[in-house]
Chains A and B, each alone.
Chain A
Amino acid sequence: MPERNALVPSPATVRSVIDLTPDVKLFNVELDDPSERDRFDYRPGQFAFLSAYGVGEAPFGIVSLASRKDGIEFAIRKVGTVTAALHDLEPGASVGIRGPHGNSFPMESFKGKNIHIIGGGIGFAPLRPVVWYILDHRADYGDLLILNAARTPADLCFASEFETWAASPRTRVELTVDKGDTGWQGRVALAPDVVKELRLSPQNAIAITCGPPIMIRFTLVRLKELGFADDQIVTTLEQKMKCGIGKCARCNVGGTYICQDGPVFTLAQISRFIEQF
Chain B
Amino acid sequence: MLFFSEKSLTAWLNHLMLDRTVLAPVRGTNDLVYFQSITNSEAIFIKSQNAALSPKDWFFPRSETIMSFITKDGKTQIIPATMEKDAVIFGIRPCDARAISLIDRPFLAEPVDALYQERRNRTALVGIACVTVCQECFCTSMGSGPFDPGALDIMLTPVDSGFAVQVVTDKGKKLLEKAIIQDRELTLPKPPEVKPVPSAGVTEAMRRVFNNVYWDRVADRCIHCNICAFVCPCCYCFDVRDYKGKDRIERVRSWESCESALFTRAAGGHNPRPSKGARMRQRFAHKLLYFPEIFGELKCTGCGRCVRNCPVNIDIREIIHDVQKLARE
Interfacial residues, chain A to chain B (CB-CB below 8 A): 1-2, 4-9, 11, 51, 53-58, 79-83, 94, 96, 213, 238-240, 242-243, 245-250, 252-255, 274-275, 277
Contacts and interface: CB of A to CB of B under 8 A. Distances in A.
Nearest to A213: B270
B266 interface: yes
B111 A240 contact: no
Interface string B300-316: 00000000000000000
Interface residues of B, number: 52
Contacts of A242: 238-240
Contacts of A82: 267
Interface string B108-130: 01011111011000000000000
Contact of B67 (A7, A238, A250): A7
A-B pairs with the 10 shortest C-beta distances?
A80-B267, A6-B111, A5-B114, A277-B272, A79-B268, A255-B290, A54-B249, A249-B237, A255-B293, A242-B240
Given A4-B111, A94-B71, A245-B111, A250 B264 contact: yes
A46 to B, nearest CB: 14
B69 A54 contact: yes
Given A247-B238, A249-B286, A277-B272, A1 B210 contact: no
B294 interface: yes
Contacts, number: 123
Contacts of A250: 237, 256, 263-264
B242 A54 contact: yes
Contacts of B78: 8-9, 11, 96
B263 A240 contact: yes
Contacts of B266: 80, 238-240
A79 B268 CA distance: 5
Contacts of A5: 67, 80, 114-115
B106 A246 contact: yes
A80 B63 CA distance: 23
A56 B243 CA distance: 8
Given A55-B242, A250-B263, A255 B294 contact: yes
Given A1-B118, A53-B69, A250-B237, A7 B286 contact: no
Interface in B217-238: 236-238
B79 to A, nearest CB: 9
Contacts of B236: 247, 249
Nearest to B294: A255
B264 A246 contact: no
A11 B75 CA distance: 9
B258 interface: yes
A240 B113 contact: no
Tell me what chain A mostly uses at the interface: helix, strand, loop, or mixed: loop
A245 B282 CA distance: 19
B80 to A, nearest CB: 5
Contacts of A7: 66-67, 80, 113-115, 240
B201 interface: no
24 contacts: A1-B118, A2-B117, A5-B80, A6-B114, A8-B67, A8-B78, A54-B242, A54-B243, A57-B251, A80-B267, A80-B268, A96-B69, A96-B76, A248-B238, A248-B256, A249-B238, A250-B263, A252-B258, A252-B286, A252-B290, A253-B272, A275-B285, A277-B272, A277-B273
Contacts of A213: 270
B50 to A, nearest CB: 25
Contacts of B76: 11, 53, 94, 96
A5 B263 CA distance: 24
B39 to A, nearest CB: 28
Interface in B72-108: 74-76, 78, 80, 82, 106-107
Contact of B112 (A6, A11, A96): A6
Contacts of B256: 248, 250
B74 to A, nearest CB: 7
A54 B82 CA distance: 20
Contacts of B113: 6-7, 245, 247
Given A7-B66, A248-B240, 13 more contacts: A6-B112, A7-B240, A11-B75, A53-B242, A81-B267, A245-B113, A247-B113, A248-B238, A248-B239, A250-B256, A250-B263, A252-B286, A252-B290
A240 B80 CA distance: 24
Contacts of A58: 267
Contacts of B249: 53-54
Contacts of A55: 242
A221 B67 CA distance: 46
Contacts of A254: 290
Nearest to B113: A247
Contacts of A248: 237-240, 256
